[in-house]
Amino acid sequence: MLKKVLVVDDSAAELKLMETVLEQGGFRTAVLSDPSRIEETIENERPNIILLDVVMPGRNGFQLCRELKNHQVFGAIPVILVSSKNSPSDKYWGEQQGASGYVVKPFTPEQLIGAVKKFA
């Protein structure tokens, strides 16, 4: 059975790019552009892995990751942060929030698929 990846990003272009790369890599996808609806979407879609953009309006990826990791049910789902923020402190902060991985934009299809396959 194909693993399902939930992609959360406020950029329609980034969502489409990640969706296409993941589907070509053999994954099923669900996409979400509104981070305020993440809990509802997780309940409906039941993803195996979550890709989160860091820079989003309202709740950013760091906040979302921390909230998901502290959630009784959602905490077991691997979260990979995908961001243009690429300093060592950004990556360290992501780890501190509970992220399982970190992919820097712009990424190659191989980098994105490789990060997801670690948890598939």
pLDDT digit string, tens, across residues 93-109 = 999 999 999 999 999 99
Q: Is residue 47's pLDDT more than 90?
A: yes
CA 39 to chain centre: 13
β partners of residue 80: 51, 101
| Token pair listed for 109 | 């299809």
- What's the pTM value of the predicted model, to 2 decimals? 0.96
Q: Residue 120: what pLDDT?
A: 84
Phi, psi of 68 (to 5 degrees): -65, -40
Q: What integer is the mean pLDDT of 34-40?
A: 95
Domains of the chain: 4-117 (3.40.50.2300)
| Token pair listed for 92 | 């360290």
Q: Residue 112: what pLDDT?
A: 98
Please, which pLDDT band fits residue 81 given cuts at 50, 70 and 90? very high
Q: Residue 63: what pLDDT?
A: 96
Report the largest interatomic distance among the alpha carbons of the chain, rounded to a whole angstrom.
Answer: 37
Q: Is residue 1's pLDDT more than 80?
A: no
